[in-house]
Amino acid sequence: MANYDYKCSKCEFIKEVSHGMNETPQILCNLCGEAMSKMIPKSLNFMLKGAGWAGKNIKEKSYRSSRNRELGKKMALSHDIPQICPNYKGEICSNWDEAKKLAKEDGVDPLRYEKQVQTFEKEQQRVEKKREKLIKGEE
- pTM score, whole prediction: 0.38
User: Which pLDDT band holds residue 13 (cuts at 50, 70, 90)?
Assistant: very high
CB 85 within 8 A of CB 91: no
User: Which pLDDT band holds residue 103 (cuts at 50, 70, 90)?
Assistant: confident
**Mean per-residue pLDDT over the chain, rounded:** 80
| pLDDT(22) > 80 | yes
* Rounded average pLDDT over 14-25: 88
pLDDT at 132: 84
State whether residue 8 is helix, strand or coil: strand
Helix, strand, coil abundance in the chain, percent, nearest 5? 40, 15, 45
**Taking the domains of the chain in order of start, what are their residue ranges?**
2-38, 79-136
State whether residue 113 is helix, strand or coil: helix
